[in-house]
Amino acid sequence: VAQMVMQKAVQLAPDSFIPGGRPDPLIREQHGNVGKPLSRLDGPQKVRGAAPFAAEFALDRMLYASVAFSTVVRGRISRIDMAAAEAAPGVALVMTHLNAPRMAKVPLLMSKPKAAGGIDLPIMQDDRVHWSGQPIALVLAETQEQADHARSLLRFEYETEPAVTAFAAAKALGTETGQFMGQPLKMERGDTAKGLALAQYKVDRTYTTPRHSHNAIELHACTVAWDGDTLRVHDASQMVAHTAWSLAQVFGIEEGQVHVTSPFVGGGFGGKGLWWHQVLAAAAAKLTERPVRLTLSREGVHRVVGGRTCTEQRVAIGARADGTFDALVHTGTVVISRHNPMPEPFILPVMSAYASGSLKFDLEVAHIDMLANTFMRAPGEAVGTFALECAVDELAVEMGMDPIELRLKNEPEKDPVTGAPPSQRDTAKAFRDGAERFGWSKRGAPASRREGEWQIGMGVATACYPYHRMPGGAARMTLGQDGSVVVEIAAHEMGMGTMTAHTQVVADRLGLPLDKVDFRYGDSFQPGMVMAGGSQQTASIGFSIIAAQRELVTELLKLAGNSSPLAGLAADEVGGVNRGLGKLDDPDRHESYASILSRAQRDELVVEGSAPPPIEVQHWSMHSHGAMFCEVGVNGVTGEVRVQRFLGSFDCGRILNPKTAASQFRGGIIMGLGLALMEETQFDERLGRIMNPSLAEYHVPVHMDVPEIDVIWTDIPDPHAPMGARGIGEIGITGVGAAVANAIFNATGRRVRDLPITLDKLL
Ligand code: MOS
């Protein structure tokens, strides 16, 4: 076995991932750990309550914070009555714009490489109010209860100004083309108007989706302390390095003077970046010269942390008699604040999903006065697939064609926008495997199956999410004389199994048992700029590990010297195997890490490696796809929808750990069920205010809403992604809304084009 493993453990330079270069050997072969359903290594700590979260670090002399939010949309704070609050028991500070320290603006996420901010407004620097719910005062006290009580005694008066708070009013004021990752979200290839006019079959529909608020289990929280000019932040973060750099900009200090750690995160989903609470906590800690813990209430998260904005989408498809698309159009409008340009890019799915004779997309943004929106699991795809995949289903009904066959008829051979070849794409296998396992052939005509009060139906939709790898990946490896390795990367564990999967990856790469690998992460002082976002953390960490291992091998060969069995070998000729390095085609030429280090009289060897820029995406069309199958029951009397069965069939490249991957897919699908049936931020367009900022009124799926969810995958490695894995964090939510809506149509013959599909829409 060792010999087989060795022959396959080819060492590769990072640049060998360039197009046409050799694929990563770990893509093809299992070395023992990758591909195994290893249980979460952090599981026991979590179950025992021994995993510390941001609001659980008790610091000496720590004060507790409570936040007051504006109740008007726009204007000035004309008067603050804080006498009662200041006199309340235990109060140490009431901070408002009148006494907050001077601070620079937070750099907005994606505006600079390490920017983490969700809103680029000045934070408590003037009397201006920009949205209903803006933090306008912070109370610090000896206990949380004292802080909350004192905050309830604050009184504010405002001079209000006119605000734009309605979608229609914002749209009437004019729109502009949305931008995402530096690209305008607008394109036309061919003549879609002509294609639609000449089409034998056509659909042209409008779909709407509501706002969504972030509701991770763990509330946004931080515990902060200053030591002179050095800021220590225990944060709940999916971007520790970005947060440290951004906080340094705000307080005018060096990046190295801010230390952000986030060992455990109770869910991120795009919302755990840098919002006002961390800045306010640090500012208040500065004023009081005491550590501060700030935990946003659930209402606070809804008021302060942006979510997904609402969309109004048009999808038009023109097809020939055989189903071939001649025209595909996806356009529409979103409404966003001026303080964060994140446009909920719902046109992303149409950029990769189908071949079409002509293609047009155009996302327009209108501006409104409210909390800035932000990234939320599969921003764009989650709601874009609802419109696109319902429209495809409507076309299939129109044509009397099976919706799977219609989709596969239009499976593209090259990228519909760039023309690049796919790095790996087998959507057809995902659909066919899924259809067989789900029993798709048993689906009947619309409204044809009834069991008592319940109408039963099946629906299907495409899931999709692109491969991303952001620049800045890096890792440090410390190899000990006992043959153990410590790997350090400023990455994140938000509950998805990152540290478990990458412990497996490191063990296989270095030829070590799992218990000799210590994967450390979640600390801004560690190497790398690895955001847990865009489903790219796995690829980013993977390439960082490859790069660091390359350095490690090079240094070990130097240390091994002339008296080693490895003497004279180049880095390309050896692999990590059997607790040491070995020649690929000659297993007898092997020396253990322990032996190399002890002969060199070294206690340890420390190396760092940096991942190259993500040039793979310039040469290949890199997208994951999936097929979502849903069976619903719709109660004919009450309109209640019950999802009875769900299957996700995915084509995401190599799956590193089937256990943690299945959980990721299921979690995404559950969030998709919420999107389909219940999640909605209720925004009062007259008051400009979110009216349901609590889990009592903002509904997410609970156990009773979640059926058995089956997940399968093709497990076909992507030769151009590190480890063959394209990332799986977000695709699970995509396509679910449409699969549910299409199943409801099949059950009832009723087409609902407005999310969420609550029972009133089916009565
Ligand atoms: Mo994800 S919305 O990129 O955390």
Q: Whole-angstrom Cα distance, residue 741 to residue 615?
A: 38
For residue 268, how far is its CA from the centre of ligand 1 (angstroms)?
8
Cβ–Cβ under 8 Å, residues 715 and 724 = no
Percent of the chain past pLDDT 70, that is, above it, reads 96
Check whether 28 has a pLDDT greater than 80. no
Q: Whole-angstrom Cα distance, residue 204 to residue 212?
A: 26
| Amino acid 710: pLDDT | 98
| Amino acid 571: pLDDT | 87
Q: Per-residue pLDDT tens for 335-394?
A: 999 998 899 999 999 999 999 999 999 999 999 999 999 999 999 999 999 999 999 999
269 lines ligand 1 (CB under 6 A): yes
The tokens for 527 are 């190497």
Task: Tell me which amino acid residue 457 is.
Answer: G
270 lines ligand 1 (CB under 6 A): yes
Q: What is the pTM of this model?
A: 0.96
376 lines ligand 1 (CB under 6 A): yes
| Amino acid 584: pLDDT | 79
Task: Tell which CATH classification among 3.40.190.10, 1.20.58.1290, 3.90.1170.50, 3.40.50.2300 matches the domain 61-162+217-267+272-304.
Answer: 3.90.1170.50
Q: Which of 506, 526, 530, 528 shows the shortest CA–CA distance to 518?
A: 506
- Residue with CA at minimum distance from ligand 1 atom 4: 270
For residue 273, how far is its CA from the centre of ligand 1 (angstroms)?
10
Check whether 40 has a pLDDT greater than 50. yes
| Amino acid 29: pLDDT | 57
Q: Per-residue pLDDT tens for 610-653?
A: 998 998 998 899 999 999 999 999 999 999 999 999 999 999 99
DSSP string, 195-219: HHHH-SEEEEEEEEE--B----SSP
Percent of the chain past pLDDT 90, that is, above it, reads 91
The arithmetic mean of pLDDT across residues 735-741, rounded, is 99
At residue 506, φ and ψ (nearest 5 deg) are -65, -45
Check whether 757 has a pLDDT greater than 60. yes
For residue 724, how far is its CA from the centre of ligand 1 (angstroms)?
21
466 lines ligand 1 (CB under 6 A): no
3-class secondary-structure state, position 168: helix
Q: Whole-angstrom Cα distance, residue 616 to residue 158?
A: 53
| Amino acid 575: pLDDT | 85
The arithmetic mean of pLDDT across residues 189-205, rounded, is 98
| Segments of the chain assigned to CATH 3.90.1170.50 | 61-162+217-267+272-304
| Segments of the chain assigned to CATH 3.30.365.10 | 2-52+469-613, 311-468+618-762
Check whether 416 has a pLDDT greater than 60. yes
267 lines ligand 1 (CB under 6 A): no
Residue 145: count of CB within 10 angstroms of its CB: 13
For residue 181, how far is its CA from the centre of ligand 1 (angstroms)?
14
534 lines ligand 1 (CB under 6 A): yes
719 lines ligand 1 (CB under 6 A): no
The strand pairing partners of 359, in sequence order, are 189, 328
- Supply angle C-alpha 382, 401, 738, rounded to 5: 15
The arithmetic mean of pLDDT across residues 513-526, rounded, is 97
110 lines ligand 1 (CB under 6 A): no
The tokens for 268 are 């991120």
For residue 609, how far is its CA from the centre of ligand 1 (angstroms)?
26
Q: Per-residue pLDDT tens for 241-277?
A: 999 999 999 999 999 999 999 999 999 999 999 999 9
Q: Which atom of ligand 1 is nearest to the CA of 729?
A: 1
533 lines ligand 1 (CB under 6 A): yes
Cβ–Cβ under 8 Å, residues 236 and 274 = no
Give the pairing of strands 474-480 and 485-489.
antiparallel
Q: Which atom of ligand 1 is nearest to the CA of 533?
A: 3
Residue of 730, 731, 733 with the most ligand 1 atoms within 8 Å of its CB, for mutation: 730
Check whether 596 has a pLDDT greater than 70. yes
For residue 716, how far is its CA from the centre of ligand 1 (angstroms)?
24
| Helical H segments across 88-190, by residue range | 144-152, 167-172
Q: Which atom of ligand 1 is nearest to the CA of 269?
A: 4
For residue 248, how far is its CA from the centre of ligand 1 (angstroms)?
23
| Amino acid 610: pLDDT | 94
Q: Which atom of ligand 1 is nearest to the CA of 272?
A: 4
| Amino acid 17: pLDDT | 46
Confidence of residue 5 (pLDDT cuts 50, 70, 90): very low
Check whether 496 has a pLDDT greater than 60. yes
| Amino acid 573: pLDDT | 86
DSSP 194: H
Q: What is the ipTM of this complex?
A: 0.97
Q: Which of 520, 612, 551 shows the shortest CA–CA distance to 240?
A: 520
* Catalytic, out of 312, 551, 573, 730: 730
Q: Which atom of ligand 1 is nearest to the CA of 730?
A: 1
Residue of 109, 272, 374, 377 with the most ligand 1 atoms within 8 Å of its CB, for mutation: 377
For residue 235, how far is its CA from the centre of ligand 1 (angstroms)?
17
Q: Please state, in angstroms and as integers, the Cα–Cα distance from residue 481 to each residue in 552, 556, 559, 582, following that order.
A: 14, 12, 13, 17
Q: Per-residue pLDDT tens for 304-346?
A: 999 999 999 999 999 999 999 999 999 999 999 999 889 999 9
573 catalytic? Reply is no
Check whether 216 has a pLDDT greater than 50. yes
The arithmetic mean of pLDDT across residues 509-536, rounded, is 96
273 lines ligand 1 (CB under 6 A): no
Q: Which atom of ligand 1 is nearest to the CA of 376?
A: 2
For residue 610, how far is its CA from the centre of ligand 1 (angstroms)?
23
Check whether 296 has a pLDDT greater than 50. yes
Check whether 20 has a pLDDT greater than 70. no
| Amino acid 586: pLDDT | 87
656 lines ligand 1 (CB under 6 A): no
| Amino acid 585: pLDDT | 82
For residue 324, how far is its CA from the centre of ligand 1 (angstroms)?
34
At residue 275, φ and ψ (nearest 5 deg) are -115, -170
174-191 burial code (b ≥16 CB/10 A, e <16): ebeebbbeeeebeeeeee
196 lines ligand 1 (CB under 6 A): no
3-class secondary-structure state, position 106: coil
379 lines ligand 1 (CB under 6 A): yes
375 lines ligand 1 (CB under 6 A): yes
CATH class of 311-468+618-762: alpha beta
Q: Which atom of ligand 1 is nearest to the CA of 377?
A: 2
Check whether 453 has a pLDDT greater than 90. yes
Residue of 213, 346, 373, 375 with the most ligand 1 atoms within 8 Å of its CB, for mutation: 375
Check whether 21 has a pLDDT greater than 70. no
For residue 478, how far is its CA from the centre of ligand 1 (angstroms)?
31
| Amino acid 31: pLDDT | 65
Task: Find the range with the poorest average confidence among 18-27, 46-55, 750-759.
Answer: 18-27
Q: What integer best gives the mean pLDDT of the chain?
A: 94
Q: Per-residue pLDDT tens for 547-577?
A: 999 899 999 999 999 999 999 999 888 888 8
| Amino acid 588: pLDDT | 87
268 lines ligand 1 (CB under 6 A): yes
The answer to whether domain 2-52+469-613 has CATH 2.40.50.140 is: no
Q: Which atom of ligand 1 is nearest to the CA of 375?
A: 2
Q: Which atom of ligand 1 is nearest to the CA of 378?
A: 2
